[in-house]
C-alpha cells in the first residue's frame, strides 16, 4: 500500500457559549488543521492538530501548516503501514515540529486500523474498558461562577474537575480553590491549572494557604527549572503539562522526581506513537496521566479516547475533550461526545470517525 494523495484542510472550530479563558489567553474560536491521507488501496486516514492559539504553548496553527507543507511532498509513495519509514521521511526533511508530525502519525494509525479491521485501541494493546472518564475544565472566572459550574458538572457525573487559575490576584485563585473544594463530594478529584502563569513565590504561597485542600498543582510556573525549584517547598503534587514537549523531557521529569503526574497533550508529544511510550513509562513509574489535547474536533478526540482506554485505570486521570465547547461534530453519527462525564470508546475500525469532509471546505494544500 502506498500514500497516493495528501489533503490538508483548515477549519475554524466555532466555540459554543462563552469564550474560553485561561491565565494567558482568551479564545473565541480554534484554528484546526486536518490531514487526510489517501492510499492507493482506497483506504483513507485522518489526523488533526489544533493548538489553542499562539500563546498557550509555542506550537501554533500556522506553524503546523508550514511544517506540513515542508513534509507533504516527501510522504507521497511511502507505505503508510511502515510507520518507521514515514517518521524517517518526516525527520529527514524537518527537524522538530512534533505537533504537525502528530497529525500524520494519527492518520497512519487510522489507516492501519482500517487495513487490519481493528480499532486503534486494539492495536495499542487493547482497551481495558469501553467507557472512560473525562474531566471538566472550568475557565478563569469569578468564585461564584466557578462554584456554580463545579456543582453542575459534579452533578452531571464528571469524576474530576480542573480549575483554571492565574492571570489575576493570588487571593482570587486561593478563594476559588477553597470554595470549589468545599462543595465537592468525596471522590471527586481537583486540579488547579495555572498554565505556566504563577511565579515560584505565588505557587509556594498558594500551596501553603491551601494546605488543607486536596488538589494537584498543574503546570504552576513557566519553565522546567522554576517548577523544579518548587519541590519540597509546596505541599501539593506537581503535574507537568506544557513543559512536556517531547519524550526526553518526560523521562527527565520522572527521573528528577519533579512530576507526580502529567497532563499530556497527544499532538504536542508527537502523536499516538509517542503517547504509547509515555503510557508505558507512566505505568512502570506509577505516574498518573491524562490523555488530552489542547483543542481539536472528533479526530483528535478519538485519538485521546483510544489511548485513554488503554491506560491502567488507577493511573488514568481522564481525557479532556473540546467536545462540550465545539458547536458541531465532524462525524454526525459516530462523533465523540461526553455523557455524564464519561466517554464511550468508538466502535469502528481505525479511529472510528467518518468525517463529513465537506464541512472543512476545499483543501488548503494538496500533494500527490
Ligand atoms: C484544559 N486543557 C486540556 C484544554 C486547554 O487547551 C488547556 C488544557 C490544559 O490542561 O492546559
Ligand atoms: Mg494543563
Position 47 scores a pLDDT of 98
Position 13 scores a pLDDT of 87
Which residues are identified as catalytic?
A: 164, 265
Q: How far apart are CA 200 and CA 222, in angstroms?
A: 9
Q: Which residues pair with 20 in a beta bridge?
A: 27
* 110 touches ligand 1 (CB under 6 Å): no
Question: Nearest C-alpha to atom 2 of ligand 1 is from which residue?
Answer: 294
Helix/strand/coil for 278: helix
Query: Are 98 and 268 a contacting pair, CB within 8 Å?
Result: yes
Position 57 scores a pLDDT of 86
Ligand 1 centroid vs 73 CA: distance in angstroms?
32
The pLDDT tens digits for 109-146 are: 999 999 999 999 999 999 999 999 999 999 999 999 99
Question: Nearest C-alpha to atom 6 of ligand 1 is from which residue?
Answer: 294
* 193 touches ligand 1 (CB under 6 Å): yes
Give the cell for residue 49.
492538530
* 331 touches ligand 1 (CB under 6 Å): no
How do strand 20-22 and strand 342-344 relate by DSSP bridges? unpaired
The pLDDT tens digits for 219-232 are: 999 999 999 999 99
Position 27 scores a pLDDT of 86
Query: Are 101 and 90 a contacting pair, CB within 8 Å?
Result: yes
Average pLDDT across each block of 10 residues of the chain; the chain has 368 residues. List them in order.
Answer: 98 88 86 98 97 89 98 98 97 97 98 98 98 97 98 98 97 98 97 98 98 98 98 97 96 98 98 98 98 97 98 98 94 96 98 97 98
* 320 touches ligand 1 (CB under 6 Å): yes
Position 23 scores a pLDDT of 85
Position 4 scores a pLDDT of 98
Options 3.40.50.12780, 3.90.1150.10, 3.30.390.10, 1.20.1440.230; CATH for 3-117+358-367 is 3.30.390.10
Q: How far apart are CA 92 and CA 169, in angstroms?
A: 47
Q: Where are the domains of the chain?
A: 3-117+358-367, 122-344
Ligand 1 centroid vs 293 CA: distance in angstroms?
7
Q: Which CATH superfamily is domain 122-344 in?
A: Enolase-like C-terminal domain (3.20.20.120)
Q: Which residues pair with 216 in a beta bridge?
A: 191
Amino acid at each position: 500500500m502506498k500514500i497516493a494523495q495528501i489533503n490538508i484542510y483548515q477549519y475554524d472550530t466555532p466555540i459554543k457559549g462563552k469564550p474560553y479563558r485561561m491565565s494567558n489567553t482568551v479564545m473565541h474560536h480554534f484554528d484546526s488543521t486536518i490531514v487526510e491521507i489517501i492510499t492507493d488501496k482506497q483506504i483513507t486516514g485522518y489526523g488533526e492538530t489544533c493548538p489553542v492559539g499562539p500563546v498557550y504553548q509555542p506550537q501554533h496553527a500556522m506553524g503546523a501548516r508550514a511544517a506540513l507543507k515542508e513534509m507533504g511532498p516527501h510522504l507521497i509513495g511511502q507505505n503508510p503501514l511502515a510507520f518507521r519509514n514515514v517518521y524517517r521521511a518526516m525527520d529527514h526533511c524537518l527537524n522538530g515540529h512534533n505537533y504537525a508530525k502528530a497529525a500524520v502519525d494519527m492518520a497512519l494509525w487510522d489507516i492501519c486500523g482500517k487495513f487490519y479491521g481493528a480499532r486503534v485501541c486494539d492495536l495499542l494493546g487493547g482497551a481495558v474498558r469501553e467507557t472512560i472518564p473525562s474531566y471538566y475544565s472550568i475557565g478563569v472566572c469569578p468564585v461564584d461562577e466557578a462554584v456554580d459550574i463545579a456543582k453542575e458538572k459534579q452533578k452531571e457525573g464528571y469524576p474530576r474537575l480542573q480549575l483554571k487559575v492565574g492571570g489575576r490576584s493570588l487571593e482570587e485563585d486561593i478563594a476559588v480553590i477553597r470554595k470549589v473544594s468545599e462543595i465537592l463530594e468525596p471522590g471527586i478529584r481537583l486540579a488547579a491549572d495555572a498554565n505556566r502563569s504563577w511565579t515560584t513565590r505565588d505557587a509556594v504561597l498558594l500551596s501553603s494557604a491551601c494546605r488543607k485542600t486536596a488538589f494537584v498543582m498543574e503546570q504552576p510556573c513557566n519553565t522546567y527549572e522554576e517548577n523544579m525549584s518548587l519541590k519540597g517547598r509546596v505541599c501539593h503534587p506537581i503535574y507537568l503539562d506544557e513543559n512536556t514537549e517531547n519524550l526526553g523531557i518526560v523521562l527527565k521529569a520522572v527521573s528528577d522526581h519533579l512530576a507526580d503526574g502529567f497532563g499530556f497533550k497527544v499532538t504536542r508529544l508527537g502523536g499516538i506513537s509517542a503517547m504509547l511510550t509515555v503510557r508505558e513509562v507512566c505505568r512502570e513509574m506509577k505516574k498518573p496521566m491524562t490523555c488530552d489535547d489542547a483543542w481539536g474536533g472528533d479526530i483528535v478526540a478519538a485519538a485521546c479516547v483510544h489511548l485513554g482506554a488503554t491506560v491502567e485505570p488507577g493511573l488514568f486521570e481522564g481525557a479532556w475533550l473540546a467536545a462540550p465547547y465545539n458547536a458541531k461534530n465532524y462525524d454526525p453519527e459516530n462523533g465523540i461526545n461526553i455523557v455524564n462525564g464519561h466517554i464511550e470508546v468508538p466502535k469502528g475500525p481505525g479511529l472510528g470517525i467518518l468525517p463529513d469532509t465537506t464541512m472543512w471546505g476545499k483543501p488548503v494544500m494538496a500533494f500527490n
